[in-house]
Amino acid sequence: MYNSYTRTLFDEKNKDHWKIQAQWTLRAKLSTPQNTKVAKNVILFLGDGMSITTLAATRVYLGGQYGHNGEELKLSFESFPYTGLAKTYCVDHNVADSACSGTAYLSGVKANSGTLGLSGSVKRGDCAGQRDGLHSVTGLMDWAQKAGKSTGIVTTTRVTHASPAAAYAHAADRKWEADADLPTRGLKCEDIASQLVRGRVGSGLNVVFGGGRKNFMPRSEIDSNGNSGYRNDGRNLIREWLVKKESLGIYPKYIYSRKELLNLDNNKYGSVLGLFASDHMSYHLEAGDEEPTLSEMTQKAIEILSQNTKGFVLFVEGGRIDTAHHETKARKALDETAELAKAVEAALRIVDIEETLVVVTSDHSHTMSYSGYSKRGSDILGFANAKYNASDNLPYTILSYANGPGSMSRTNFRHNLMFDNMNDLNYTYPSLVPIPRETHGGEDVAVFAHGPWAHLFSGNYEQNFIPHALAYASCIGPGLTTCKL
């Protein structure tokens, strides 16, 4: 029965509210058993550029949409029982990019900035270092495939972009996504798209969902949306992918629209390639009905991969959080983070968490700050409390960036933000240092874990520890596992 006493439990001005809330949290932690079963399945979710600041701001963003203040809310994965912090630096840079960090959390080895699937012995652009193979490293997908598990990647970026490419490719430069991106002189290295089709690990993936269709098609061909291919070598890698899968006795399917994804017969195909955009997939706030959501791709990937009785390893990336931050478009960044949280929630509805290890993390931070002294319930995408205007008596936004295209410091006077339309989806938030693209940040990122051996992810550790812990829990890979102590 809802009465006056019940109301006090949800009244933040009542001291009992906070005491009871803390006791509930304490009891939940005390009653959480450590699951030490073998993880049949592993799902690694990555919010590209999803800093802790981004998480905090997204809570308030969602709260405003559903009639709450928001600060008190939790994203789906923030309720996971175990949380840690991962250090993200590269071998040669103190602030990571998505290539060196992808190599770390997918292969277990830290690398140089801009390189994929190669140790720190190979510098960016060293084609010879890529070709000789001595410094190549593999990780989760390779280990899972050798153990007989199904594997897949899902992303909202190009499937050849740095984060997903780290799952299967070896490249001295993350920009070598298609042959047209390769240097015109010197040694010829295999591009990333080609490695997805011809590479040992890439060709073994059972599910690949995302964008980047142009990198698989020659310039002479037009895709379903009227966009030309990008390849110079005349190869259609989509056709090659189909032929290769068939030669391996696998019944494959290529799809390019949301309708095809939703109508796909999960039991009919052994491998599915879905390229839903010529370039990156659209931001959720701008997407039409032709492109599936991250949740829809995640759910379909799990349904397909779950047919394997030995289990699966799936990598899911909310990649456009990062691109929005680079453009200092905070609204889009927060919305893409909310979409990742929805995808995690969708996955939890259909997996058995007793046998599925789910980890959510980020590859690196960004320079967005969350500041000022605004009252609860303030629009997170609006102005800080007017009572605390800056020294020039002009307002400032709650969210801003240390650097980026939204800089207001090109003159001796700050621009008056009151004249801006901050409801515009493409509004660029203010930044201190003027540069064309905002940079990453170097602080640690959060790691959230649920399922078998999730307690391994507590504490502070190097980012390359993550795949070793995932492998331990699921009994894959050459290192220490719970099956071979």
Q: Quickly list H helices, 32-190.
A: 52-65, 98-107, 127-132, 140-146, 162-165
**Residue 445: closest CA among 359, 355, 341:** 359
440 is in an annotated binding site: yes
Place of tokens 């701001």: 57
Helix (H) or strand (E) holding 324: helix 320-326
Catalytic residue flag (residue 409) = no
Cα–Cα dist 234/480, whole Å: 45
Burial category of 23 from C-beta neighbours within 10 Å (exposed 0-12, middle 13-18, buried 19 and up): exposed
Cα–Cα dist 453/34, whole Å: 7
326 is in an annotated binding site: yes
468 is in an annotated binding site: no
79 is in an annotated binding site: no
**Cα first-last separation, the chain:** 52
Per DSSP bridges, beta strands 365-366 and 368-370 are unpaired
Cα–Cα dist 283/319, whole Å: 10
339 is in an annotated binding site: no
Catalytic pick among 51, 76, 98, 369: 98
Strand partners, 47: 318
Per DSSP bridges, beta strands 271-275 and 252-255 are parallel
Cα–Cα dist 45/435, whole Å: 30
335 is in an annotated binding site: no
Strand partners, 294: none
How distant is the alpha carbon of residue 205 from its chain centre? 18
Helix (H) or strand (E) holding 25: helix 15-30
363 is in an annotated binding site: yes
Strand partners, 255: 274
Per DSSP bridges, beta strands 271-275 and 312-318 are unpaired
Within 10 Å of residue 6's Cβ, how many Cβ atoms?
Answer: 10
The binding site for Zn(2+) comprises 48, 322, 326, 363-364, 440
The binding site for Mg(2+) comprises 48, 161, 163, 317
Active site residue ranges:
98
The binding site comprises 48, 161, 163, 317, 322, 326, 363-364, 440
